[in-house]
Amino acid sequence: MDKTYSGIDHYVLDVEIPEVANLFKNILVEFVKKYPNIDAVQWDDYLGYYAGLPGKFDRTENLTRFVQQMVTSMKKANKSVSFDICHHNPYWAKKYFAADWEKWGVDRVFIQAYNDSNFVEELNYAQKYAGVAITDRQLGRLKELVDNPKIKSILVFPFSGNPEKTASSLKNSL
């Protein structure tokens, strides 16, 4: 069980178990075949292992191999779909989630900048990749991001759990 967030129990599907890895790969392949006209499949920071999990071994290499296999399988099934991730900056991803996504061979990366205390630092990373991800609680930063020519794309995560409300708020923020 993952305790990334206090008060919320998360159960880890360990991709080091071949049956679990195959389940994820098969679902992804089935999805891109069933919906051949989609542009992208996006994964987030749950594609990783929380550093506080029991066991003191480095899961990075196995996770990298798994994601590379997923990308390859997906592209074989539908080469026009982009394999995207929305994750922490490279340092945090490696240190706290065993996610060395720079080696995964993904198509696009969006940097999560959900924490206002290090927002400016995260923008420095986001400018090097496909864009930035913010939450609906950060819509006050939208104009700053839209006006920044170095930010290519902006993803808005509905932290409230209500994507329709977030979409409406986003429209009103512009």
Q: What's the number of domains the chain is made of?
A: 1
Domain membership of residue 47 as a residue range:
1-82
The reply to whether 171 falls in a domain is no
Taking the C-alpha atoms of residue 42 and residue 109, their distance in angstroms, rounded to an integer, is 9
pTM greater than 0.75 (yes/no)? yes
DSSP state of 48: S
The reply to whether 65 falls in a domain is yes
The reply to whether 22 falls in a domain is yes
Taking the C-alpha atoms of residue 107 and residue 97, their distance in angstroms, rounded to an integer, is 20
What pLDDT was estimated at residue 1?
A: 47
pLDDT, tens digit, 9 for 90 and up, residues 134-153: 999 999 999 999 999 999 99
The reply to whether 100 falls in a domain is no
Residue numbers of the chain with a pLDDT score lower than 70: 1-11, 56
The reply to whether 172 falls in a domain is no
Taking the C-alpha atoms of residue 64 and residue 49, their distance in angstroms, rounded to an integer, is 11
Amino acid making up residue 34 = K
